[in-house]
Structure formats: C-alpha cells, structure tokens
A and B are shown apart, each in its own frame.
Chain A
Amino acid sequence: QKEVEQNSGPLSVPEGAIASLNCTYSDRGSQSFFWYRQYSGKSPELIMFIYSNGDKEDGRFTAQLNKASQYVSLLIRDSQPSDSATYLCAVNYGGSQGNLIFGKGTKLSVKP
C-alpha cells in the first residue's frame, strides 16, 4: 500500500510566524514531491514541487526533501491570514507514469 502521511492538524500559528508542515511517504521509488494549497470548497492549487534532496525556495515558501528519511516538508515564512488553508502533500507513485498519491492534508490556521 502506497501511503502519504500528514498530521491533520489543525496547526495554528500567529501572523508573521513560520508555519512548518510535514509529510512522510512509503514508496522508496517516488521521485517527485508536491505541495498543494486547498481553500475550503475550492480545488487544490499547486504551490511547490521538489525533485532533489535539499531545500527549494520560492518567495515565502521553502520545500525540504530528505529521500533517505522519506520525508518532505513545507515552511511558510511570515505567515499571513490568507495562508489559512489545507495543505496537501502529493508524491508520484514509483510504479506509475501519472498517478499522484495525496495525503489527507494539514489544516493551517494563521491568527491575526
């Protein structure tokens, strides 16, 4: 069973703080890792992807990947109330050419 695990939260942080979201995956064949943001009632929006071990930064977002530990994380710096959403971690299934496996998501709440 290919699994992606996330803490469901809610994760509550004050405005301006760093939010740290974590994800573990079971398939060692996975090579591509994604973070999607989903506002309530809306569809997922791709915000970050990472393919190599280490950090990848894009604006206030940093994705971190550790393939040896099968762990990927998303840091959101200077969190804003507009960042309040559910963050979905997705991983490609190593035995497929198109199938993404999603975690259940972590709900983030940024308090003003």
Chain B
Amino acid sequence: DTGVSQNPRHKITKRGQNVTFRCDPISEHNRLYWYRQTLGQGPEFLTYFQNEAQLEKSRLLSDRFSAERPKGSFSTLEIQRTEQGDSAMYLCASSSPGHYYEQYFGPGTRLTVT
C-alpha cells in the first residue's frame, strides 16, 4: 500500500502525559500536513512541512505541541502535558510538488485523554 500511514491508530493517555504520533507520507510527496478533527467539525489545520522545513503553524498549535520532519520523510507530532481538550482525531496528509492543495489523508490517530 502506498498511501499515507499513521501510527498508532488509537492512543489513550492520562492527563498530563506526553504523546507522540508518527506519519509516513506517500513516497513522492514532499509536503506533509497535520490537521486535528473533533466530532462534528471539519479538520483544522495545525502545521505543514515542505521537505524538512516547517513552513507554517496555526495559532491552534500551542507551545505544548511540536512537530518535526527531520529528514524530509516521516514526521512526528508530540503533545506535552496532554489536556482533555486535546482529545481528537489527528490527521496527517501529504501532497506532491505542483499539486500542493490536493492533499491525501492518512487513517488518523484517535487520541483520548482521560
């Protein structure tokens, strides 16, 4: 399968713990995006990378959130000191050069903070 993959698919954590999610984009795609989706809402943009450079971050991305894409391939999203309001589906998407807005999503990581 050559689609976007995300791990883990589900994560349950206690408030105050740190969590890290991984995204592997489609191999020829140089852009990688992180979105967050809560029930009844559309995805909300968090940040995106072109190769290893983080080019844009949403104001939704508080200082407890950090994302990396060290070698321009996979990316990680870390949430420190999780809060119950962080419970959501975290979606990763990727796109190819020249087709940046045609974004293809992975299956998502569902985070539950108890």
Contact = CB atoms under 8 A, between A and B. Distances in A.
A98 B42 contact: no
Contact of B48 (A4, A36, A45, A99): A99
A32 B74 CA distance: 26
Interface string B1-43: 0000000000000000000000000000001010000001111
Nearest to B110: A41
Interface residues of A, number: 24
Given A43-B91, A96-B56, A97-B56, A102 B105 contact: no
Contacts of A97: 55-56, 100
A60 interface: no
A36 B31 CA distance: 19
B107 A43 contact: yes
A44 B43 contact: yes
B40 A104 contact: yes
A90 interface: yes
B73 interface: no
A44 B45 contact: no
Contact of A42 (B41, B44, B107): B107
A86 B104 CA distance: 17
Contact of A90 (B42, B58, B106): B42
Contacts of B45: 98-101
Contacts of B108: 43
Contacts of A99: 45, 48, 56, 58
B101 to A, nearest CB: 4
A43 B24 CA distance: 15
A4 B106 contact: no
A98 B44 contact: no
A92 interface: yes
Instruction: Please indicate which of the listed interface residues A45, A88, A96, A100 has the most CB atoms of chain B within 10 Å of its own CB.
Output: A100
A9 to B, nearest CB: 12
Contact of B106 (A43, A96, A102): A43
A98 B34 CA distance: 11
Interface in B41-55: 41-45, 48, 50, 55
B42 A88 contact: yes
